[in-house]
Amino acid sequence: MSAGTRAPIGATTPWHGGLTGTAGLWPLPGGVCAVEGVRAAGVPAGLKPSGAPDLALVDAGAVATAAGVQTRNAVRAAPVRLTERHLADGRARAILLNAGSANVCTGPEGLALAAQSAAEVAGHLGCAAGDVLVASTGVIGEPIPAVPLLAGIPRVVTALSPAGGSDAADAIRTTDTTVKEAAARVGDGQGSCVVGGLAKGSGMIAPGMATMLAVLTTDAVLEPADAGDLLAEAVEATFNRISVDGCMSTNDAVLLLATGTAAAPPSRAALADGLTAVCGALAEDIVRDGEGAHRLVRLAVRGALSDGEALAVARAVADSALVRTAVAGGDPNWGRVIGAVGAAPAVVDPEQVTIAFGDVVVCADGVAAAFDRAEAAAALAGPDVSLAVDLGLGEGAATLLTCDLTHDYVTINAEYTT
């Protein structure tokens, strides 16, 4: 199948969800606190050397249905292991998050501190320790200093507020330069509900599981199993479709609290759309704020033998340092793209490959297209770049968000211990 017989590529690159691309969805302010009854806070506890806020708490107000998707890394942080245990009954009320230390490779003491901090929060909120989830981000291998952490807990509980979503999102930033929040009301003929979220993530953003922390809240009525399924689907379509540096973290956690207080919730499909839209908006924020990133790359692969093969090709292109430095330089160097395509674990016929930057086709059926170099460079000049690859073989498709690899990435990661 030649590219000529298909719709033109490169013109638009759909991205899953997003707050403005989903029908029946109205963006809201407030992040996690957009959901009635949810309170949040972020305070400085002295865990970051800078003295910036570093301890966050999200409280659903009462025990809620809870679900989580956490890292697949074999090396898992203490909070990841504790949260897995506390999620076993599908119920939780609050989530304590900290930056400054990832609490991973910290031995039995690290796990004990995670458990103790959950128990402290529970004592203040009047719930069981098993109803408090924990998540940490920061340097691997350095313990969280117990004294400031435990001293910070009563203060973050006191600071809880229905207007505290941004404070919580701010406190968990590490190399993030932006505060990441999203929320929306989603509805259909059956009813409506609210989905809110916050996230952090900038480096160690990888395939396999986006490397970040996120908290999602909703007033939808959900059973634990259903909450888990819905969250897994939304994560797969969003946080698992981004890459900054191909590095998988030890602390990934996306946690959902569903309060069940919506008077007339919508259909499962509408809720799924809303959850995916909020996750998609947060995921896009993470890539846009990727370490050192100057350009967001919307990568669309189609024409593969299966969706899985399209995703494998997209990952190979997104993880190519040569492609990402070419984007940083604004260089429409499609040779590096086809080189990455050919190295992917997928069926590729080089003579069927078509590549476009924006709507400029630079390679058609495996050979250089007659394109205007200035036009192609212009397609790479802005902060939003679209890169489309058509393998010309089948109907498999995948989209992925990534960013360019710049001097600033090297500066951030070579000059600082993160």
Active site amino acids: 211
Asked if 411 interacts with its own copies (CB under 8 A), we say yes
Asked if 336 interacts with its own copies (CB under 8 A), we say yes
CB nearer its own copies, residue 19 or residue 248: 248
**Site for its own copies (CB under 8 A): which residue of 123, 145, 329, 394?**
329
Length of the chain: 418
Window of 147-155, 262-270, 366-374, 381-389 that interacts with its own copies by CB under 8 A:
366-374
Asked if 309 interacts with its own copies (CB under 8 A), we say no
User: Residue 210: what are its φ and ψ, rounded to 5°?
Assistant: -55, 140
Q: What x/- string results for residues 103 through 132 when contact with its own copies is judged by CB under 8 A?
A: -xxxx-------------------------
Window of 127-135, 227-235, 304-312, 349-357 that interacts with its own copies by CB under 8 A:
349-357
Asked if 83 interacts with its own copies (CB under 8 A), we say no
Grouping H, G, I as helix, E, B as strand and the rest as coil, residue 105 is coil
Asked if 247 interacts with its own copies (CB under 8 A), we say yes
Residue found under tokens 């009525």: 221
Window of 18-26, 47-55, 230-238, 407-415 that interacts with its own copies by CB under 8 A:
407-415
Q: Which of 282, 357, 312, 318 is nearest to 31 (CA)?
A: 282
Window of 51-59, 275-283, 298-306, 364-372 that interacts with its own copies by CB under 8 A:
364-372
CB nearer its own copies, residue 245 or residue 284: 245
Smallest separation (angstroms) from its own copies to the CB of 12: 25
Whether the CB-CB separation of 258 and 220 falls below 8 Å is answered with yes
Neighbours of 340 (CB within 10 A): 22
Q: Which two tokens stand for residue 40?
A: 């949040």
CB nearer its own copies, residue 129 or residue 322: 322
Element (H or E) spanning 109, and its range?
A: helix 107-125
Neighbours of 51 (CB within 10 A): 10
Asked if 203 interacts with its own copies (CB under 8 A), we say yes
- Alpha-carbon distance of 122 to 209, in angstroms, equals 29
Alpha helices in 126-219 (DSSP H): 146-158, 165-171
CB nearer its own copies, residue 52 or residue 247: 247
Q: What percent of the residues of the chain are helix, what percent strand, and what percent coil, each to the nearest 5?
A: 35, 25, 40
Asked if 146 interacts with its own copies (CB under 8 A), we say no
Asked if 3 interacts with its own copies (CB under 8 A), we say no
- Alpha-carbon distance of 374 to 386, in angstroms, equals 16
Alpha helices in 223-347 (DSSP H): 224-237, 268-288, 307-318, 321-328, 334-343
The footprint of its own copies (CB under 8 A) covers 72-76, 102, 104-107, 139-142, 203-204, 206, 208, 245-250, 319-322, 325-326, 328-329, 331, 333-336, 338-344, 347-350, 353, 363, 366-368, 405-407, 409-411, 413-418
